[in-house]
């Protein structure tokens, strides 16, 4: 699949932001990571001072996973469809937080298995065929997650979603995922890319007990055996051991970089997609910010590999972007700090000069 060149954020705007912080009437380095956020946003927007984010957008991708049949989750598979309904009715965590933070939310059903209770074609809950990749994915400890055609379609769907959002005015994107069992393929992909052993990536995901943890570890081990021969081929990894949601988000993250649109990352599934996206399109990571630290061990490994430092330490374990939405107001604050804080020259607030000391 052809990809256009990945642009870099504007280095001159970043340098201008750093220089402006040096002029502010605050002690050197006193604004800490807030200053870093402002510089990152200035580079992404190609302007200094940066504009406050005006139209942040969560895009929540939903899909089922065949590996859920191995009892690797605390929830049955049909919960995926129910969570889609909850997100659309604004009763799930990310939907509630999005309303509080002034962030709009879009839910896209790419591979939820609705059978045997599929909505009628004219139902508002019926999936939009323009974004459908399939109805669930293969059980990765035994078979491939996707066909080659499904993988290519998923990547194309993700890229199309970004084009629609950016063309519609979105200036900050938050990718999220809904899917029972999704942290299992995500953990496999992280282990395959980073070289970690299965036990190092197995987390508690949906809040699993010890017996479920052991089943999940076995499924990851078996899937990793199938995935490791493809460790240097990101698209083959998606096909063999990923899923429709991870593949869609991979295309989404690459296209966000192509369209020069900043992204706030949060959750193991979106961060795993980022890991694969940067393998596929090196340099895309420069457009992403990791919103918060998660207790999922695979996420920590992926973040280290991507050299992304979390902004917050909320310990949120969800994949729906909740932690990222919580960080959106910080970006608005960082932009306003850079634009509106008085300079030392304007205010006369300057440090004492200790000549000869």
pLDDT, tens digit (0-9, with 9 covering 90-100), for 21-47: 999 989 988 999 999 999 999 999 999
Query: How high is the pLDDT of residue 119?
Result: 62
Q: What's the pTM?
A: 0.94
Dihedral of the CA atoms 93, 305, 252, 109 (nearest 10)? -40
Three-class SS of residue 250? helix
Is residue 2 scored above 70 in pLDDT?
yes
Cis upstream peptide for 202 (omega within 30°): no
Write the pLDDT tens digit of every residue in 247-261: 999 999 999 999 999
Size of the chain in residues:
357
Query: How high is the pLDDT of residue 355?
Result: 47
* C-alpha pair distances (Å), 188 with each of 37, 185, 224, 269: 31, 5, 6, 11
Q: Where are the alpha helices (DSSP H) in the chain?
A: 11-23, 32-45, 79-88, 93-101, 148-167, 183-194, 198-201, 210-227, 234-241, 244-258, 268-280, 297-306, 322-340, 344-347
Three-class SS of residue 133? coil
Write the pLDDT tens digit of every residue in 136-195: 999 999 999 999 999 999 999 999 999 999 999 999 999 999 999 999 999 999 999 999
Going from the N-terminus, what domains does the chain have, and what CATH number goes with each? 54-328 (3.40.50.10210)
Is residue 318 scored above 50 in pLDDT?
yes
Distance CA 150, CA 135 (A): 11
């Amino acid at each position: 699949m052809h990809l256009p060149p990945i642009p870099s954020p504007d280095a001159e705007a970043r340098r201008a932001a750093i220089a402006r912080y040096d002029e502010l009437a605050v002690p050197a380095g006193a604004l800490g990571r807030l200053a870093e956020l402002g510089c990152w946003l200035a580079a992404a927007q190609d302007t200094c001072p940066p504009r406050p984010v005006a139209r942040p957008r969560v895009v929540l991708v939903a899909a089922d996973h065949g590996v859920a049949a191995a009892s690797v989750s605390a929830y049955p598979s049909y919960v995926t469809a129910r969570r889609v309904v909850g997100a659309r009715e604004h009763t799930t965590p990310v939907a509630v937080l999005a309303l509080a933070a002034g962030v709009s939310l879009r839910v896209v059903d790419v591979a939820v298995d609705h059978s045997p209770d599929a909505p009628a074609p004219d139902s508002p809950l019926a999936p939009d065929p323009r974004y459908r990749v399939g109805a669930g994915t293969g059980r990765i400890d035994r078979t491939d997650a996707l066909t080659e055609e499904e993988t290519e379609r998923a990547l194309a769907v993700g890229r199309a979603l970004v084009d629609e959002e950016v063309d519609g005015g979105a200036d900050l994107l938050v990718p999220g995922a809904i899917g029972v069992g999704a942290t299992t393929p995500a953990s496999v992909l992280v282990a395959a890319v980073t070289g970690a052993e299965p036990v190092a990536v197995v987390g508690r995901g949906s809040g699993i007990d010890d017996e479920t943890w052991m089943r999940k570890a076995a499924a990851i081990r078996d899937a990793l055996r199938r995935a490791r021969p493809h460790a240097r081929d990101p698209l083959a990894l998606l096909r063999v051991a990923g899923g429709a949601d991870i593949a869609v988000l991979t295309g989404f993250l690459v296209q966000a970089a192509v369209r020069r649109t900043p992204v706030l990352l949060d959750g193991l599934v979106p961060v795993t997609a980022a890991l694969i996206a940067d393998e596929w399109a090196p340099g895309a990571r420069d457009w992403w910010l990791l919103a918060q630290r998660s207790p999922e061990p695979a996420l920590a490994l992926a973040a280290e590999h991507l050299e992304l430092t979390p902004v917050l330490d909320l310990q949120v374990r969800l994949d729906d972007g909740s932690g990222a939405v919580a960080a959106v107001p910080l970006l608005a604050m960082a932009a306003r700090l850079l634009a509106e804080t008085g300079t030392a020259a304007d205010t006369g607030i300057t440090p004492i000069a200790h000549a000869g000391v």
